[in-house]
Structure 1
């Protein structure tokens, strides 16, 4: 067996696994440095000459020129009139113009339908009656004096030592439900939450961290606008169970509750469904159209029992379970 021409102080060949492990674990000052020129298998480095430097510079210039030409070509293609970006912009502008035309056409048709409907109702003498039903169903906008009840999330609570970031107690859908019910019971004529009209068939729910009114998400602060006598509404809410509930969530959980009185405020109309089918009622003996009370919606203003909640407002009810672990009392 041929012996190695060079060996380490430990007796292994310079490139054996054992010699590498020993070299890593041994005293570095006790092992001779293995130089490349001492072993015949060592590869010689390429010569560093002026010709090699010139070749390297030429290759770098050619590569840079090729990259520059490619980038300029792509930029010109993207900026051209028939490029992808220009075509997409033209398509977006065309679609937007078409949508504006359709909206204008829709407004014109709605105006024509309203005029025809008014003419028919005036002829039948039912315009006033329909107006009462529309006001009861929140289908028309209303304005007048009223109050605005504002519910806002609490300020960030200080985090516990070694805990995570600070958290805040948030207003829940139950809080909004109880506030709306309290205003209905106080005699409010119309109510809107952040510009969303609330009626006897509206739904106040939650989805994730958002509160929904008729499936439309709202963001804090929650401004509950109620039409009616401001002093009567505030006094009735403060002396009822709703006032005690609002005071408790304010003092216990830090929910910000504030009132604003308005001499003139307004609530928008609630979007109504599209009429798909209609039929003519058969006339009674005197020629007046017959009607049934089962087909006519109640025109009474919603109260706390008919409003949009699944729960009544308990006196001093605690909502710690609803608020979750992040809403513990500070």
Structure 2
């Protein structure tokens, strides 16, 4: 029996979307399923034979070769001498070399200025150069070297994370902790102190700004290495027996703040930058300065280091 053909209204093609929608709306039971030989995609599919497979393989090999050549060219351009990365690295190295040369030149000029200043002072007043050197040493104006120790204070390791949290809490070293440690070393008899290369003097401020600790307005990052010149054994013994030592022991035990000691026979603390000379005058024959000009230096408004938190507080 011959199968009845599928009828569609309005003359649409048998399997167009509009025809199917109209046929479903009119009589859903009369819509026949798609036959394999009538499916639109069957005519668009390429034949699957040996020739098409060989062509597909050749095209894949050609595409892979083109990609490999492109990658090699890109790597060659990145490693070339005129690439932006190479030029930037060269510029950085040249800048570092120039900076080192300028630092050496600055040190030479400072030495010449010091010698000239000492010569002028000796002509006017005997012993003035020695007194000036003593004043500069007391005012952190010159670098000092000698035996001493290094007290290193570092943040705690991450504590165990609570449920639902990926990382644990880290107890940070605060500016108050550094203040107590520095004042404790001064009280133990330290002759000179520096924190991460920043010289600490009578007017040096140890403060915090956001999450950074500032020493003389220079931001530092942990670990904090406090270099103190003096007898290493005496400094450590007296510091451990003082309230500052007990405070560091307490925050180390309760909050996991890490600390360590390191003795050395030769340590160096840098000089602290002094005020800028704004005005000077020539001494007259009688030794009095001209009345219209007076020597002045840029005043320092930084507060002195002081422990702002006692050991009895709970949080470091």
TM-score bucket of the superposed structures, by smaller chain = 0.5 to 0.7
Counterpart of 1:195 in structure 2 is 197
Alignment CA distance shift 1:244-1:55 (3 Å):
closer
Structure 1 window deviating more from structure 2 (137-146 vs 273-282): it is: 273-282
- Establish whether residue 272 from structure 1 lines up as the match of residue 269 from structure 2: no
Alignment CA distance shift 1:290-1:131 (3 Å):
farther
Counterpart of 1:224 in structure 2 is 226
Give the Å deviation of 1:203.
Answer: 2.2
Give the Å deviation of 1:275.
Answer: 4.2
| Kept after mapping to 2: 8 A contact 1:187/1:228 | yes
Structure 1 window deviating more from structure 2 (78-87 vs 264-273): it is: 78-87
Give the Å deviation of 1:251.
Answer: 3.3
- Counterpart CA distance in 1 for 2:104 and 2:232 is 39
Alignment CA distance shift 1:99-1:185 (3 Å):
closer
Q: Deviations over 1:180-207 (max 9, x none)?
A: 1222234432112233321112222334
SS at match of 1:277: strand
Give the Å deviation of 1:221.
Answer: 3.8
| Kept after mapping to 1: 8 A contact 2:194/2:270 | no
In angstroms, what is the RMSD of aligned CA positions?
Answer: 4.6
Give the Å deviation of 1:308.
Answer: 1.9
- Establish whether residue 317 from structure 1 lines up as the match of residue 312 from structure 2: yes
Matched residue pairs, number? 292
Alignment of 1:230-269 (within 5 A): 233-234=235-236, 236-238=238-240, 240-259=242-261, 262=263, 264-269=265-270
- Counterpart CA distance in 2 for 1:176 and 1:243 is 12
Point out where structure 1 has 5 or more consecutive residues left out of the alignment: 20-31, 298-305, 324-330
**TM-score, structure 1 length as denominator?**
0.65
Counterpart of 1:46 in structure 2 is 46
Give the Å deviation of 1:156.
Answer: 3.9
Bigger relative CO (Cα 8 Å, ≥ 6 apart): 1
Counterpart of 1:119 in structure 2 is 119
| Kept after mapping to 2: 8 A contact 1:143/1:264 | no
Counterpart of 2:207 in structure 1 is 205
Counterpart of 2:134 in structure 1 is 132
Alignment CA distance shift 1:166-1:78 (3 Å):
closer
**TM-score, structure 2 length as denominator?**
0.67
Q: Deviations over 1:250-274 (max 9, x none)?
A: 33323345555x4744341224147
Counterpart of 1:24 in structure 2 is none
- Establish whether residue 214 from structure 1 lines up as the match of residue 216 from structure 2: yes
Give the Å deviation of 1:139.
Answer: 1.8
Alignment of 1:263-302 (within 5 A): 264-273=265-274, 275=276, 277-280=278-281, 282-283=283-284, 285=286, 287=287
Q: Deviations over 1:53-87 (max 9, x none)?
A: 56545655665666566566666666666666666
Counterpart of 2:176 in structure 1 is 174
- Counterpart CA distance in 1 for 2:22 and 2:197 is 77
Alignment CA distance shift 1:174-1:53 (3 Å):
same
